[in-house]
Amino acid sequence: MTTHAVDPVLCMALFVSDASQTSDLDNGTIRDVVARTLEQLGPNECYARAAEVFGDHPETALGRITWARELCSRAMALATV
């Protein structure tokens, strides 16, 4: 999958959201989850929670951030077309 540059805070918001990696999320849902998470937590709290996950569960954090980055890249690229 080719990824497009996307603001890292958007990826962090999806990463710390309650969205399941096993769900089939469409692009609109991804954008909604990211917006809702940023509204609820703000960028700094998203980064803080992501850092906590990487510290506590590094074995699963890499897979989740890769997933979040790929989905955000796809969803945000299509939103700007």
What does the DSSP assignment read for the chain? Answer: -------HHHHHHHHHSS--TTS---HHHHHHHHHHHHHHHHHHHHHHHHHHHHHH-HHHHHHHHHHHHHHHHHHHHHHT-
The predicted pLDDT at position 24 comes to: 86
Residue 80 contacts by C-beta under 8 Å, 6 or more apart in sequence? none
Query: Where do the structural domains in the chain lie, given as residue ranges?
Result: 8-79
Token pair, residue 69, equals 């980055």
The predicted pLDDT at position 42 comes to: 97
Span between the terminal Cα atoms of the chain, in Å: 18
Query: Which residue do the tokens 């089939």 mark?
Result: 24
The predicted pLDDT at position 4 comes to: 64
pLDDT digits (tens, 9 = 90+) for 44-79: 999 999 999 999 999 999 999 999 999 999 998 766
